[in-house]
Amino acid sequence: MAMSVNVSSSSSSGIINSRFGVSLEPKVSQIGWLRLLDRVHVAPVSLNLSGKRSSSVKPLNAEPKTKDSMIPLAATMVAEIAEEVEVVEIEDFEELAKKLENASPLEIMDKALEKYGNDIAIAFSGAEDVALIEYAHLTGRPFRVFSLDTGRLNPETYRFFDAVEKHYGIRIEYMFPDSVEVQGLVRSKGLFSFYEDGHQECCRVRKVRPLRRALKGLKAWITGQRKDQSPGTRSEIPVVQVDPVFEGLDGGVGSLVKWNPVANVEGNDVWNFLRTMDVPVNTLHAAGYISIGCEPCTKAVLPGQHEREGRWWWEDAKAKECGLHKGNVKENSDDAKVNGESKSAVADIFKSENLVTLSRQGIENLMKLENRKEPWIVVLYAPWCPFCQAMEASYDELADKLAGSGIKVAKFRADGDQKEFAKQELQLGSFPTILVFPKNSSRPIKYPSEKRDVESLTSFLNLVR
């Protein structure tokens, strides 16, 4: 059961024992340090209990005349303090998520803002999650918005930030990376090291750590995560949850709550909402950008491609997360589950009768042939990969079109136990990878484009066959 709670308590024995040299327990320090001297004074403090402020503890003053009065006095103090400690019901966020599962984004947003007030903020990336700001605006409640300025965003994104501020009459709270950390990374590894060793280190410096600082001042945050954004990593996002990674204002595990009002909304519906409400949108969307991040790591997607394929396109599909939502990412192992099923149990793709299924032995034999009788085109794939799924229809059509033409069309499943082999021997970088084995060449040629329609694949074949 996921829950968030921060309750301080003390026992009378702990306070009494402090009179005789026994240290108070750590929890007692949250209430106040009690010393039984000639004059006892307890200053009023506020207690944070599950996001609610209780009434201040009343000052206690006493002047014991004899040592014999110490123990009765301590007991009286404990009793009075105990009266001030509110018994708080623990929030069950799994149960709350179930209750809100079929609620509209507007209802979820209203609930979040009502519950946390000024201690919650919307995380705005400069993409289509402007819908979150519109929903917050529609509730009529005050709301806060923050964004991470990595220093490498597109000019269009910065102009979009300005348009949003003017449209809603708000000020976005920008968080910036630590200049010393950025300087160290760039000086030691260069401006574009992420193309060689992955984006995680750069994202950690420019995004994750600034986000961590922002969230330390909040009790909850609101994100634009949707289940359909990345079926392999985000398909089980609840509408509300205890954040499994970051800490909030009160500190410690369970001190931050994460709200995902559009978790169950499809991308097309988000865009229909934005058009209907006539709100500002990033002009990059009109150029084919859907998921927008830093300029060097984001590009437009082609028709039929998944929206996340435009992010960190040089990496494996499973790595397309920056770390902001690490707690919602499923296992990265090849035995992880997709939509509740083991990856090995996910239905296979590319099912044309004119398509050859290659085993490990089969593709090794194909690699050894120096004088092939006919050229081959082979896709290295994983059936759970959304980018492979997006090209299924075109690749099956290609197999049917080339049937009897003297060109073999094949597939090789390169995940699981075959992944390391494929990376070392078959140039696998990410799924899908398409190879052409020419007729009179021992080495395969890697298809360099992300245009995976029938016409583009056929043109490439004609060039290299």
Active site positions, annotated? 385, 388
Residue 47, CA atoms < 13 Å, CB-side half-sphere: 25
Instruction: Tell me the CA distances in angstroms from 211 to 180, 266, 279, 281, one per residue in order.
Output: 17, 26, 26, 23
Residue owning tokens 């902001």: 324
Instruction: Tell me the CA distances in angstroms from 156 to 128, 152, 211, 282, 294, one per residue in order.
Output: 13, 12, 22, 7, 11
Phi-psi region of 68 (alpha: psi -120 to 50; beta: other; left: phi over 0): alpha
Q: Where are the alpha helices (DSSP H) in 225-330?
A: 267-277
How far is it, in rounded angstroms, from Cα 298 to Cα 291? 8
Instruction: Tell me the CA distances in angstroms from 111 to 39, 96, 172, 434, one per residue in order.
Output: 47, 11, 22, 48
Is 181 in contact with 209 (CB distance < 8 Å)? Answer: yes
How far is it, in rounded angstroms, from Cα 122 to Cα 169? 15
Instruction: Tell me the CA distances in angstroms from 390 to 18, 238, 413, one per residue in order.
Output: 68, 25, 16
Closest CA to 369 of 460, 454, 452, 442: 442
Residue owning tokens 């965003």: 153
How many other CB atoms sit within 10 Å of the CB of residue 354? 14
How many other CB atoms sit within 10 Å of the CB of residue 298? 22
The DSSP code sequence of 418-455 is GHHHHHHHS---SSSEEEEE-TT-SS-EE---S--SHH
Residue owning tokens 């950008």: 289
How far is it, in rounded angstroms, from Cα 58 to Cα 80? 8
| Amino acid letter for position 327 | G
Buried b or exposed e, range 445-459, using 16+ CB within 10 angstroms:
bebeebbbbbebbee
How far is it, in rounded angstroms, from Cα 419 to Cα 210? 34
